[in-house]
Structure 1
Amino acid sequence: MTGTEEALVARLRAAGCVFAEEEARLLVEHGGDVDALAVRRAAGEPLEHLLGWVELAGRRWSVGPGVFVPRRRSELLVRAALAAPGAAGVDRARPAVVLDLCCGCGAVGGAVASALPDVVLHASDVEPAAVAHARTNLTPLGGTVHRGDLFDPVPGGLRGAVDVLLCHAPYVPSAAIATMPPEAREHEPRVALDGGTDGLDVLRRMVAEAPGWLRPGGSLLFEVGTDQVTGALALVGSAGLEGRVVHDEDDDGPGGTVVVATSAGPSGAGAPG
């Protein structure tokens, strides 16, 4: 470790950074004004915003100030999507159709699309900064990113044709925002965190519309907190979808919880051109 890194580690550790050594190494490798970066990190700015990227599912994705930083636990959402009936049952004579709502920087949808042999990928988000990063990440994968609320900006031609519908909707109850780490509540957009009184407000709107967009046998997947599982399963059941829950019991950090909801019938053939 160089003298610069040792001094940086000490500053970061004093600021409460748990992984000070790793963060110092990444900031030095990033280059530029390391002292200025250290000041911003010590003040609570997310490391990923300073680096300009976040790692998810073995790949780096562009991210920056004002954009939600995907958590490592969202890799469970990626794995569950790839194992879901909508993806696993795709007729390989046609591309899989993946729609990623509340996409943020697009890392989750991009990771799913990257693992499929042939895919049509669309994504949407309301935040302009998130949309800009999502386009940087998904355009090279052939994806199309729309700005708007949930399904509003999505092309109508995708109705009834989506094999995998992802939604990284905010699910933190409004009253719990104040208890989140400062780097989240002060540097990420509230619209990407705040799920309303019980954390399910955005998911209610999304689930109500989801069946009309799914192909028969298609799958809807989204994250929730462990104490929201019962309410989430009730939502998908009332929408006529068959729901189940996947937990990440091997995660070293806070384990993820993903709801997988499938529409009736096998995936059919023929995707929109």
Structure 2
Amino acid sequence: MSFPSSSPSRPSPASPDSPDSSPSVPADVVARLRASGCVFAEDEARLLVAEARTPDELAAMVDRRAAGLPLEQVLGWAEFCGLRMAVDPGVFVPRRRTEFLVRQAAALARRAAGRSRTVVVDLCCGSGALGAALAAALGGDGRPVELYAADVDPAAVRCARRNVAAAGGRVYEGDLYEPLPAALRGRVDVLLANTPYVPTGEIGLLPPEAREHEPLVALDGGPDGLDVQRRVIEEAPRWLAPGGHLLVETGERQAPRAAGAMARGGLVPRVVTSEELYATVVVGTLGA
């Protein structure tokens, strides 16, 4: 669910309030955040002030942020695809680059014809942000979505249930496909799998926000970063509907190996990238 050099994305400073309605920011809050190493101290201070209900609550939030807790976990939410997604302490923070994966998935789902609803599965779902954002995008088009998500981390499952509730989604706790209803086999139109893909040897290079406050299971992808992705790819053809798509985020250097694994597994792979978001997504399609 991460990228070797990634850190949690910063919410847009204008997302909770317009500039005209932003509360004044105490100088000591900005100074405290800046002293703790926050690069965007003024923007973060505005968000914390807007979220805090009392001076004591603000002080506690500033303390947690200054101690290194990711801003999104302090706020309790992250902005993702223009939506507020709940993010609890200890839960992986959705990255802004992963919005590219959701946009690719939405484009593929919109091209599908003759289906009464789109069946979506979000594996390694973390906060459930990907599935929730895709369901919201397709729902805005009047396309009904049947949403399922799964994660091995109980804290992530609790958080994801809050985020997918608006779409009527269901979240299951367990390892990859294991907890999903067997009736989904052969029915999934879009399978999102933002698996961990940081090589084990590079975990120590991650920013402290990630390696100290996000679950290792959401970061560590094994020796080459692709251990979990290979397991997802191997089982995907059994779950995808004819013409269905598997989408995984990966590193640019890892993409050829991920695409090769898809081809060996019976999927037709292609690699898409976004220079703007520094994102690489590998898409595997099951023949119709």
Quickly name the TM-score band, shorter chain normalised. over 0.9
Q: Is 1:169 equivalent to 2:195 in the alignment?
A: yes
How much has 1:54 moved relative to structure 2?
A: 0.7
**Measured at CA, do residues 82 and 50 of structure 1 come closer, stay the same or move farther in structure 2, by a change above 3 Å?**
same
Q: Is 1:8 equivalent to 2:29 in the alignment?
A: yes
The number of residues matched between the two structures is 260
1:37 maps to which of 54, 58, 61: 61
Q: Is the 8 A contact 1:90 1:163 kept in 2?
A: no
> Residue 159 of structure 2: SS of its match in structure 1?
helix
Q: Is the 8 A contact 2:23 2:46 kept in 1?
A: no
> Residue 114 of structure 2: SS of its match in structure 1?
coil
Alignment of 1:109-120 (within 5 A): 109-116=131-138, 117-120=143-146
Q: Is the 8 A contact 2:129 2:163 kept in 1?
A: yes
How much has 1:43 moved relative to structure 2?
A: 1.3
Letter in 2 for 1:11: R
1:27 maps to which of 42, 48, 58: 48
> Residue 189 of structure 2: SS of its match in structure 1?
strand
Q: Is the 8 A contact 1:87 1:163 kept in 2?
A: no
Q: Is the 8 A contact 2:121 2:147 kept in 1?
A: yes
> Residue 220 of structure 2: SS of its match in structure 1?
coil
Alpha-carbon deviations, 1:153-199, whole Å to 9, x = none?
00010100000000010000011110100010000000000000000
Alignment of 1:137-156 (within 5 A): 137-156=163-182
> Residue 123 of structure 1: SS of its match in structure 2?
strand
Letter in 2 for 1:249: E
Q: Which residue in the other structure is 1:227 paired with?
A: 253
Using structure 2 for the length normalisation, give the TM-score.
0.88
Q: Which residue in the other structure is 2:84 paired with?
A: 60
Using structure 1 for the length normalisation, give the TM-score.
0.92
How much has 1:78 moved relative to structure 2?
A: 0.4
Alpha-carbon deviations, 1:195-228, whole Å to 9, x = none?
0000000011110000010011000001001110
Q: Is 11-20 or 144-153 further displaced after alignment? A: 11-20
Q: Is the 8 A contact 1:236 1:242 kept in 2?
A: yes
RMSD: 1.3
**Measured at CA, do residues 217 and 87 of structure 1 come closer, stay the same or move farther in structure 2, by a change above 3 Å?**
farther
Alignment of 1:66-85 (within 5 A): 66-84=90-108
Q: Is 1:97 equivalent to 2:123 in the alignment?
A: no
How much has 1:5 moved relative to structure 2?
A: 2.6
Counterpart Cα distance in 1 of 2:129 and 2:229: 20
Q: Is the 8 A contact 1:122 1:144 kept in 2?
A: yes
**Measured at CA, do residues 123 and 2 of structure 1 come closer, stay the same or move farther in structure 2, by a change above 3 Å?**
closer
Runs ≥4 in structure 1, deviation > 6 angstroms? Answer: none
Q: Is the 8 A contact 1:87 1:96 kept in 2?
A: no
Q: Which residue in the other structure is 1:88 paired with?
A: 111
Counterpart Cα distance in 1 of 2:245 and 2:222: 25
Gaps of 5+ in 1: 266-273
Letter in 2 for 1:81: A
**Measured at CA, do residues 3 and 250 of structure 1 come closer, stay the same or move farther in structure 2, by a change above 3 Å?**
closer
**Measured at CA, do residues 215 and 87 of structure 1 come closer, stay the same or move farther in structure 2, by a change above 3 Å?**
farther
Q: Is the 8 A contact 1:222 1:259 kept in 2?
A: yes
Q: Is 1:258 equivalent to 2:272 in the alignment?
A: no
Q: Which residue in the other structure is 2:13 paired with?
A: none
Q: Which residue in the other structure is 1:17 paired with?
A: 38
> Residue 227 of structure 1: SS of its match in structure 2?
coil
Identical columns (%): 55
Counterpart Cα distance in 2 of 1:41 and 1:54: 15
